[in-house]
Amino acid sequence: MNYNETSIRVRYGETDQMGVVYHGNYATYFEVGRTEWLREFGLSYRGMEADGIMLPVVSLSINYKNSARYDDVLKVKTTLKKMPTASIEFEYELRNESGVLLATGSTILAFIDVDKNRPTRCPKYLLDKLRNYSL
């Protein structure tokens, strides 16, 4: 496994009066992609937070190519860019049902120790699960 693909249907409330997805919603689509990427490893934000680790986004980049529209079924392809250290980096591709590239992007999230409110290393349990991950 070197990526995760997740499907999302565009809801009416995510669009403007012309049925075009508002640009800010693309960040949410990327969040869904990385949440599902974590689930493939048996992990969740909830579980990591319970273990005292937060993952705030510290960098977000989106390149818009074409418009997503109301009721489109989108595919978010989420790929780990490199093995995590004190941060984790993802790359994204967003396509519609016809395979048209709508957007690309990337995020960097920092591992934060909740008790100390300071950056920390990637948890060992995540690194162990990524041991056989193909980059």
Taking Cα atoms as reference points, which of 98, 8, 23, 36 lies closest to residue 64? 23
Give the pLDDT of residue 82.
93
The predicted pLDDT at position 20 comes to 97
CATH of the domain at 16: 3.10.129.10
**Domains in the chain: how many in total?**
1
Q: How high is the pLDDT of residue 129?
A: 87
User: How much is the pLDDT for 1?
Assistant: 57
- Domain extent for 79: 4-130
Q: Is the dihedral of CA 34, 82, 61, 21 positive or negative?
A: negative
| Helix or strand (DSSP H, E) at 62 | strand 57-64
Is residue 18, in this structure, part of any structural domain at all? yes
For the whole model, what pTM was predicted?
A: 0.93
Q: Tell me whether residue 135 is in a domain.
A: no
**Looking at residue 134, what is its pLDDT?**
63
Query: Per-10-residue mean pLDDT for the chain, 135 residues long?
Result: 90 96 97 95 92 97 98 97 96 98 98 97 92 70
Say what the pLDDT of residue 2 is: 78
Which residues touch 128 (CB under 8 Å, ≥6 apart)?
A: none
Model pLDDT, residue 71: 97
Instruction: Give the N- to C-terminal CA distance of the chain in Å, as an integer.
Output: 9
